[in-house]
A = this chain, B = another copy of it.
């Protein structure tokens, strides 16, 4: 049995680069950018009018002129006009190019317009006002979004602005989620007394969806020969195999045996934590000639063998698969912490992932423990938002102390 720290370190050392793909920018939310995004032109690209009103040559106003004959209208999206006479003005619309020979914009609110003449009703005007100058927000070639940023709505707007209709993002690993156990039946079936429905695989599919990783699912019966032949195939076809169950000590828990026979190298089995202790982790490296041709790297398939209990599988996906993914795409995710809202005693020499309900109070994140019925009590996850990680170096945890959390809502 190894510590949570050591287990995480081992998992993080088993990452690899799955390369880059180019996708439509509008489908890229949640994906990890794999190119720097530079400004394709100055921003704004021209001296941009930022208020609806008129534009004048400030010199005339300075000389005492208050009324200006309107020469025309400079609309947004029209080619740049030229102010022909410095004693006249041009009406200008927000987003328009500032006309030539003009340098100051006065908004409608400060004007009276009558018979084609605009009269300024205020005394204080600053030269250059209400103009968003060319290049003020950025120069052509400026770095707008750094490589390895997670794309959100904010980045989508920038990608559109600079014309990146296709964008390079980290390729996702190809994942299959496998359930085992003859007691499991399909969701739309009525189970017999000794059966239950499959649920962990769908929980895992949803947890991976949060990372924008599509996954496939499979179910294998507790038959060693079938298990071995299917797993052999999956090891070739997928980058990651996620198992739920069949890694403890049972007679029909063939997985560790099958892994050994298939030369999947065990990196650890069992972690000093509750829930989620019987976690098996390993990988199979093999020279895959197709992949070699394509990408010149050795194929390495990662195997996460999560315990079958629903909460164990859930917490291990958050505690190990998530950081593994963040590392492989190069994402630096800040660890969240929360304030424990009750005293907790936990005797075993294990890290304790305790379910908590989160709330906000004066800028503080409060974690209130909710005690469920143990690792089989799937429904208890509905009433909580996160796991708070209480380390194994002590047994008493006090209200008000701060610990890291693994949050799932």
Contact = CB atoms under 8 A, between A and B. Distances in A.
Interface of A: 25-26, 29, 39, 43-46, 48, 50, 52-53, 73, 75-80, 91, 93-97, 107-109, 132, 136-138, 144-145, 149-150, 152-165, 181-184, 187-200, 202-207, 209-210, 222, 245, 248-253, 308, 310, 314, 334-339, 359-366, 372-374, 376-382, 384, 402, 408-409
A157 B381 contact: yes
Contacts of A199: 156-158, 160-161
A155 to B, nearest CB: 6
A47 to B, nearest CB: 11
A240 to B, nearest CB: 17
Contacts of A377: 137
A219 B366 CA distance: 45
B382 A314 contact: no
A96 B183 contact: yes
27 contacts: A29-B206, A44-B376, A45-B193, A52-B249, A77-B183, A78-B182, A80-B193, A93-B251, A108-B249, A132-B374, A144-B379, A145-B379, A153-B207, A156-B199, A156-B202, A157-B381, A158-B382, A160-B197, A160-B203, A161-B199, A162-B197, A165-B187, A337-B361, A337-B362, A337-B363, A339-B363, A364-B365
A250 B360 contact: no
Contacts of A149: 382
A329 to B, nearest CB: 16
A252 B93 contact: yes
Given A182-B76, A222-B77, A337-B362, A189 B206 contact: no
A197 B161 contact: yes
Contacts of A360: 334-337, 365
Nearest to A367: B363
Contacts of A93: 250-253
Nearest to A193: B46
Contact of A373 (B137, B359, B408): B137
Contacts of A207: 153
Given A181-B95, A222-B75, A382-B145, A160 B202 contact: yes
A53 B381 CA distance: 28
Nearest to A380: B137
A181 B76 contact: yes
A280 B76 CA distance: 20
B382 A194 contact: no
A307 to B, nearest CB: 9
Contacts of A107: 249
A109 B277 CA distance: 15
Contacts of A46: 193-194
A199 B80 CA distance: 22
A161 B364 contact: no
Nearest to A133: B373
Contacts of A91: 251
A194 B363 contact: no
Nearest to A108: B249
By Cβ-Cβ distance, the 8 closest A-B pairs, closest first, are A77-B182, A77-B183, A154-B381, A153-B206, A160-B199, A339-B363, A157-B203, A93-B250
Contacts of A382: 144-145, 149, 154-155, 158
A162 B187 CA distance: 8
A248 B257 CA distance: 71
A41 B195 CA distance: 12
B77 A137 contact: no
Contacts of A75: 182, 222, 251-252
A95 B155 contact: no
Contacts of A26: 202, 205-206
Contacts of A308: 94-95
